[in-house]
Amino acid sequence: MAGRGPCRLNSIGFGTWAWGNEFVWGYDSKTDDGRLAATFRQALSSGLNLIDTADSYGTGRLNGRSESLLGGFIDALPASRRSQLVVATKLAPFPWRLGRRGFHRAFDASQKRLGGHLKRVQLHWSTARYAPWQEAALLDGLADLVQAQQVDELGVSNVGPRRLRWMQARLMERGVKLRSVQIQWSLLSPGLAQAQEVLDLAQSLDIEVLAYSPLAFGVLSCAPAEAPRPSTWVRQRLFRRLLPESLEIRQLLLAIATERGASMVQVALNWCRATGTTPIPGIRTPSQAMDVAAALTWQLSESECSVLNQARERCIARMPSNPFQSR
Ligand SMILES: NC(=O)c1ccc[n+]([C@@H]2O[C@H](COP(=O)([O-])OP(=O)(O)OC[C@H]3O[C@@H](n4cnc5c(N)ncnc54)[C@H](OP(=O)(O)O)[C@@H]3O)[C@@H](O)[C@H]2O)c1
């Protein structure tokens, strides 16, 4: 299971799903945008360089908001700092995005919102479960963008080992490297066996694994004595269920954090790093950015990893599976 091997050091990025999302994250432009700009600046000055977004983060009147906020923040940076960033977006294979050129307009729109600073394009999920005939064409279309040097790198997301193997082989035939795969990965993530297969396969194929929702939507940041009430009903419901079920894991996170003079969040992120993944936690405040980056200054011991792995296997608390996850 996770963490069998020796603890290894990976980097940490950050995610921006909440930057424009009302339904899950209660985004409000009036109150949030200034704080998000400060969060972005703090994240960068703390040394976080990998930024994850998606063209579906912000819908309706907020269409593309995460990307456009990021584009504005990146534009304000000196060119030398901009060139150090890996800005990665995900394009959603909506049913109306058809065929090999199906993503091209979406790609141009994302690139425009991001001020031309996009470095990696990622397939947000595979269509294998509902429109398998689309999968090769859409992937080929993304590879075309890399080969035409419109973007540097290509990644995928929410794929299981079978799709990952197939995608990597197809891209390799084209001479395009599959740079990364994103999966839900945390002490409370679901589908442990399949996720571990993805980790093992990705490692053997030299594909970086980005761990999304590494804090289980913030549940893993809550001290055992705390009972926070998030602002949206989606997270309230999740916290009501997961806080009691995850008590033992959160007690362990707190114990290790206290011993280390660190935060529970740093312990949860360093568990992800110890499993060979690169966590991309969602951050919304400058102090969260600083705290997340502080995890880069230390690593878990093998015995700390092993205690957490055992608790994880005993724990009944599981985050909901992503409905777009394929095999
Ligand atoms: N590929 C996909 O399909 C997919 C799916 C989901 C997410 N993602 C990516 O992964 C990123 C991260 O996942 P996520 O946003 O779902 O959830 P997450 O990272 O598990 O949790 C984010 C929440 O954790 C809390 N948090 C973060 N840092 C903290 C700190 N230092 N101290 C205390 N609390 C802290 C914050 O809660 P508060 O806001 O309450 O402060 C934050 O909103 C997303 O932004 C997105 O880029 C990708």
- Backbone dihedral region of 209: left (phi > 0), alpha (psi from -120 to 50 degrees) or beta? beta
Sequence letter at residue 169: A
Q: From residue 12, how far is each of 7, 72, 74, 204 by CA, in Å?
A: 15, 22, 19, 21
Across residues 118-122, what is the average pLDDT? 98
Q: Which atom of ligand 1 is nearest to the CA of 122?
A: 1
User: Can you read off the two tokens belonging to residue 163?
Assistant: 């799709």
Q: Which atom of ligand 1 is nearest to the CA of 212?
A: 10
- Residue 13 confidence (pLDDT) above 80: yes
Q: Which pLDDT does position 37 carry in this prediction?
A: 98
Instruction: Report the DSSP beta bridge partners of residue 86.
Output: 50
Q: Which pLDDT does position 2 carry in this prediction?
A: 41
Q: Which pLDDT does position 5 carry in this prediction?
A: 43
Write down all domains in the chain, each with its CATH number in brackets.
Answer: 14-218+275-284 (3.20.20.100)
Give the mutation target among 114, 212, 270 for probing the ligand 1 site: most ligand atoms within 8 A of CB. 212
Q: What is the secondary structure of 18-42 as a DSSP string?
A: TTT-STTT---HHHHHHHHHHHHHH
- Residue 115 confidence (pLDDT) above 80: yes
- Residue 4 confidence (pLDDT) above 80: no
Q: Which pLDDT does position 60 carry in this prediction?
A: 87
Query: How far does residue 192's CA lie from ligand 1's centre (Å)?
Result: 20
Query: How far does residue 296's CA lie from ligand 1's centre (Å)?
Result: 17
Across residues 203-211, what is the average pLDDT? 98
Q: Is the beta carbon of 280 within 6 A of some atom in ligand 1?
A: yes
Report residue 9's pLDDT band, with 50, 70 and 90 as the boundaries: confident
- Which carries the bigger pLDDT value, residue 151 or residue 9? 151
For ligand 1, atom 8, the nearest C-alpha belongs to 212
What is the pLDDT of the chain when averaged over all its residues?
95
Q: Is the beta carbon of 126 within 6 A of some atom in ligand 1?
A: no
Q: Is the beta carbon of 13 within 6 A of some atom in ligand 1?
A: no
Query: Could you give the dihedral angle defined by the CA atoms of residues 216, 314, 320 and 238, in that order, rounded to the nearest 10 degrees?
Result: -60
Q: Is the beta carbon of 293 within 6 A of some atom in ligand 1?
A: no
Establish how many alpha carbons lie within 13 A of residue 302's alpha carbon, considering only the half-sphere containing its beta carbon.
Answer: 3
Report residue 43's pLDDT band, with 50, 70 and 90 as the boundaries: very high
283-303 pLDDT, tens per residue? 999 999 999 999 999 999 999
Q: Which pLDDT does position 10 carry in this prediction?
A: 85
Query: How far does residue 198's CA lie from ligand 1's centre (Å)?
Result: 21
For ligand 1, atom 26, the nearest C-alpha belongs to 218
299-319 pLDDT, tens per residue? 999 999 999 999 999 998 899
Rounded to whole angstroms, the Cα distance separating 207 from 202 reads 5
Question: What percent of the chain has a predicted confidence (pLDDT) above 70?
Answer: 98
- Residue 8 confidence (pLDDT) above 60: no
Q: Is the beta carbon of 12 within 6 A of some atom in ligand 1?
A: no
What are the residue ranges of helices labelled H in 55-206? Answer: 65-75, 79-82, 104-113, 132-147, 161-174, 192-204
Query: How far does residue 98's CA lie from ligand 1's centre (Å)?
Result: 31
- Which carries the bigger pLDDT value, residue 317 or residue 119? 119
222-260 pLDDT, tens per residue? 999 998 999 999 999 999 999 999 999 999 999 999 999
Verify whether residue 212 is a known catalytic residue. Answer: no
- Residue 177 confidence (pLDDT) above 90: yes
